[in-house]
Amino acid sequence: MSILVNRDTRLVVQGVTGREGAFHSTAMLEYGTNIVAGVTPGKGGQSTLDGRVPVFDTVAEAVEQTGATASCIFVPAAFAPDAMLEAADGGLALVICITEGVPVLDMLRVYHVLKQKGVRLIGPNCPGLTSVDEAKVGIIPGNIHVRGSVGLVSRSGTLTYEVVQAMTDAGIGQTTTVGIGGDPIVGTTFVDVLDMFNQDDETEAIVMIGEIGGEEEERAAEFCAREVRKPMAAFIAGRTAPPGRRMGHAGAIISGGAGTAESKRTALEAAGIRVADSPSHIPQLLRDVGVR
Amino acid sequence: MGAATQEIRLKLQEYRSKEILARHGVPLLGGATATTPEQARAAAADIAGPVVVKAQVLVGGRGKAGGVKLAANPDETADRAREIIGLDIKGTTVKTVLVAPAAEIAHEYYLGLILDRATRAITVIASAEGGVEIEETAKTSPEAILRLRLHPLIGLQEHQVRRVGFFLGIPAELRNDFAAVLRGLHAAFMESDADLAEVNPLVVTDGGRLLALDAKIVLDDSALPRHPDLEAMRDLNEEEPSEIAAREAGISFIKLEGTIGCMVNGAGLAMTTMDLVKLAGGEPANFLDIGGGAKADRVAAAFRIILDDPNVKAILINIFGGITRGDEVARGIVEARAGLTRDVPMVVRIVGTNANEAEPILAEANLITADSLDDAAAKAVAAAEGRTA
């Protein structure tokens, strides 16, 4: 098993004919992802990516014609909130938004509407996810993975690749790697993904990659102490980041001092999770907790 | 990508924040800005009464630093403005003062709206202990603070406005005025795409008026493309010239105090690179995320920005190719380096997409290369100290 996406995932790509959308859709097809449709308003009826993918004007039409089950969004930031709502209205249960720079107040509305509809949103401003050897949705390079038993969840993009590569180089494979995104409001949190990994039979250990700011890592640590019985390792980026620049006024009030790398590390260690000093130490920490 | 890019937020000066609040019906004493003592004198003459002269800087604690002074008449106002303009407050030189009517304060409150990530909602924060930093109140007497979550889809409701007013103990005859303040603050927050909008202090004067004496609005950078009027309110005097140049080049950059310049793709990896420099015994000179898909021109701009800092003794370039192609960055490095006026040792680590194609380009240019990030950090620290790792 894996989480969120697998061989049965039928993907529609919103913004498939754009520069980023076309480039990454090609990489997804090469990885073996089943892209059943693309959506670009005004280009319905055409086909794209060397005739491999039919294009529709609307998500609803794409779903009706192809039985798509999930969407990956590459449209520009100004149109991304509408694209997420369209995916939800089109009946998709899983929406992955790669787009960076979505205004926060737009996300506030989109988040709550999708939540009410029971739609699982990943991102925005995320690299997507890969269920190794099954499906890759988003922009994570496919070739850094090797199939194995470790689930990985991260708020970062390239830092995720760094850790996955370090694991692969050490011969430690992954089930699914998920980038949840670094924006103030994202659809899926660490806790959501940890819960999924915890219930996934094939995932035997979990790696969590956090960053300073907010308090999602602290919440995740609490959840792990309470619920997760699988071995874990973690890394937190930003020990040297200047506090004044990172912690906004708002965060400081609400969290009462949480949000620094130290507070996150302390919370994780209190939950029995070892925190690596460098991404390259993650494989050793995994070995130490019994990962082969 | 990542959290760091959105933390470089646009904070508006007091007088700009007040302009926005006034448009939304928040009662306040406007006044006028001045950049010279003569302008301050003229502003005071228009007000015809005692005034307060306030330094327009974004750092906190300007009152303690001598940046806020009372004046009884236009001549005194010019003197006070002369003292304040040019004053250094925590590294910012005062260029502009606000001359506003002075108010006799009977009571001070704090009233703010913030975007709370944890509850994914806009939250009202109110305290009857105004005039001090809300973080201070949060530490010393958290029970004195009301936090009220607004419905994410229907927003501020009348019963919530009443509740905040009762919590603060607003006098009965000022409750309607208070409702106008909170509704106006909320409207300003929503229409400006703010992250934070606060009035501190909100005061009741001796004469029984409710007024916003100081205000602060912080904007969501992601929403600025749809607010060119607010983007124009940015105070470039308050920003590092290098950070302004970076923004114009599409690069996320924060200047720090160390000696090792960092050029990385991705915010999380950029922070990690800084952490590993520190772990290797060095100090990073900056945070720099070159962004996705960077090509030669952006690499060149990044070099200029990093080398503009005279403290930089070595540069560590760490690129994990995904969207970004390693060979394009490598070519960008070699090209840009040829055009640089100052040269320092450079440690380059390129992995991921087209890393193999990057290798010969880097080897030919005699750059120090590294296999791992830990190795790269160690080599950069050594290079900055004039030795080889």
Q: Cα(B259)–Cα(B284) distance, rounded to whole angstroms? A: 6
Interface of A with B in 37-56 (CB under 8 A): none
A243 pLDDT tier (thresholds 50, 70, 90)? low
CA distances from B67 to B10, B135, B147 (A): 22, 21, 31
pLDDT at residue A114 is higher than 70: yes
pLDDT at residue A41 is higher than 70: yes
Task: Judge: A249–B135 Cβ closer than 8 Å, yes or no.
Answer: yes
User: In CATH, what class is A11-122?
Assistant: alpha beta
- The reply to whether A252 touches chain B by the CB within 8 Å rule is yes
pLDDT at residue A219 is higher than 50: yes
Min distance A138 CA to chain B CA atoms (Å): 11
Topology adopted by domain A140-288: Rossmann fold (3.40.50)
pLDDT, tens only, B222-255: 899 999 999 999 988 888 888 888 888 888 888 8
pLDDT of residue A249: 28
Cβ contact A282:A233 at 8 Å: yes
Task: Judge: B269–A109 Cβ closer than 8 Å, yes or no.
Answer: no
pLDDT at residue A103 is higher than 60: yes
> Mutation test of the interface with chain B: which of A79, A85, A105, A245, choosing the one with the most B Cβ atoms within 10 A?
A105
For each of the domains in chain B, give its residue range(s) and CATH number, in order of start.
1-28+104-238 (3.30.470.20), 30-102 (3.30.1490.20), 240-384 (3.40.50.261)
Min distance B180 CA to chain A CA atoms (Å): 22
- Judging contacts by C-beta atoms under 8 Å, the chain B residues touching residue A136 are none
A209 backbone dihedrals φ, ψ, rounded to 5°: -115, 110
pLDDT of residue A285: 97
B2 pLDDT tier (thresholds 50, 70, 90)? very low
Average pLDDT over all residues of chain A: 92
CATH topology agreement for domains A11-122 and A140-288: yes
pLDDT of residue B69: 97
- Judging contacts by C-beta atoms under 8 Å, the chain A residues touching residue B111 are none
pLDDT at residue B355 is higher than 90: no
How much is the average pLDDT of A6-30? 95
Share of chain B above pLDDT 70, in %: 97
Q: Cα(B45)–Cα(B49) distance, rounded to whole angstroms? A: 8
Domain boundaries, chain A: 11-122, 140-288
Please list the alpha-helical segments (H only) found in B169-258: 175-192, 228-231, 241-249
Q: Known catalytic residues of B?
A: 110, 198
Residue B156 C-alpha from the chain's centroid = 27
pLDDT, tens only, B369-379: 998 999 999 99
pLDDT, tens only, A259-276: 788 889 999 999 999 999
B193 backbone dihedrals φ, ψ, rounded to 5°: 55, 55
Min distance B90 CA to chain A CA atoms (Å): 13
Q: Which among A103, A158, A261 has the least Cβ separation from residue B222?
A: A103
pLDDT at residue A248 is higher than 50: no
pLDDT, tens only, B107-120: 999 999 999 888 89
Kind and range of the H or E element at B363? helix B355-364
pLDDT, tens only, B247-299: 888 888 888 899 999 999 988 999 999 999 999 999 999 999 998 777 788 89
pLDDT at residue A145 is higher than 90: yes
Coil vs helix vs strand at B298: helix
- Judging contacts by C-beta atoms under 8 Å, the chain B residues touching residue A278 are 272, 275-276, 279, 373-374
pLDDT at residue A252 is higher than 70: no
How much is the average pLDDT of B75-104? 95
